[in-house]
Amino acid sequence: MECIWRMPTSRLRFEAYRSDDKRLNFLPFYGRRSGGDSKMLCMDAAGHTVLCDAAGLSVMPAPCLNEPKVDSPVSFSITRTNVETPNRADALYVLDRFVTSRNSFNFEALMFGEKTWDWVRLPPPPYVNNPAYNSTSIQSYTLLADGSTICISSPRHSLVGTYCFDTISCKWSKAGRWALPLYGRAEHVPELGNLWFGMADNSPHNFSALDLSNLDGAPKLLQDWQDLDPPEDWVQMRCSLLYLGAGKFCITKFFNIGDPDTLLCSPEWRCCVEFLVGRWCTEDRPNSR
């Protein structure tokens, strides 16, 4: 494992529109089969968005969300197969991490229409219509092997369970009352034993592998590895996982290393970027065939 403790100098700086909430989210905007890997959507707390192309060194205005999303929303870029123009085939699906029945725009997709990009309202997960439902976070999420089905899961203690959304039919289905044993986004890597990889839900510093090719029952972790052993007083605030190709993963973590009693008042941040190589996935996979 290679670890970088200091980020490289930035080449471009983005600032939020609002002065009272400077939060920005950068969402990957390229599908598995789109052929591009440099487009991103920048989104602020007020729902303003711009499309950025790092390779083309360009920025293009994009329409505002119908409703702003909380920090780090669930997002997937999926390449639609029923679109004639290849460079307009990608669609960005964005789902609030805390879905509520009061918000009719919990789930939206940015798609190219006849002449421009538009946000399209999508149906929320069906469990929000249950009168007994209490706002529950989406703890883990991933894209299934078909490349068009989004899978979301609640925390283990919740009764919500795991649901799937078919982006072709725009319909939800329930996979089960069980929860995925993961936290945050999981990446499907066909070339590494056709497995999914993510951070374990019971340990924020365990990098895990599991098989989600069959959701008839609760999936179990096949193996996990400790990716980092930070000091005990470091509080992890955010973690992201990205598959770089060629068996390599990039894990970025942000820690608050200040006084735990003043985390919200005067945070002191430390960023750690790790690079992991996944050759063991095909060599050491339990019960590999």
For 14, which DSSP code? -
Q: Under the phi-then-psi rule, with left for phi > 0, alpha for psi from -120 to 50, and beta for the rest, what region is 86?
A: alpha
Who contacts 17 (Cβ-Cβ below 8 Å, separation ≥6)? 44, 46, 48
The structure tokens 């190219």 sit at 112
For 191, which DSSP code? T
From first to last of the 289 residues of the chain, give the pLDDT tens digit: 666 666 677 777 788 776 678 888 989 887 554 445 678 999 999 999 999 887 777 888 999 999 999 888 999 999 877 666 666 678 999 999 999 888 889 999 999 888 889 999 999 999 998 888 888 899 999 999 999 999 999 998 888 999 999 999 999 999 999 999 999 999 999 999 999 999 999 887 889 999 999 999 999 999 888 878 888 888 888 888 888 888 888 888 888 876 655 544 445 556 666 666 654 444 444 443 3
- Within a domain: 280: yes
- Within a domain: 173: no
- Within a domain: 144: no
- Within a domain: 15: no
Who contacts 287 (Cβ-Cβ below 8 Å, separation ≥6)? none
Distance CA 54, CA 67 (A): 26
The structure tokens 């690079």 sit at 275
- Within a domain: 266: yes
Look up the domain containing 245 and give its range.
Answer: 183-289
Distance CA 115, CA 216 (A): 42
For residue 187, what pLDDT is reported? 94
- Within a domain: 122: no
Among the listed residues 177, 141, 125, the one whose alpha carbon sits nearest the alpha carbon of residue 156? 177
- Within a domain: 113: no
For residue 282, what pLDDT is reported? 43
Distance CA 215, CA 179 (A): 11
For residue 87, what pLDDT is reported? 62
Distance CA 129, CA 47 (A): 25
For residue 215, what pLDDT is reported? 95
- Within a domain: 225: yes
How many domains, the chain? 1
Collapsed DSSP state (helix, strand, coil) of residue 240? strand
Count the Cβ atoms, other than its own, within 10 Å of residue 184.
19
Quote the radius of gyration of the chain (alpha carbons, Å). 19
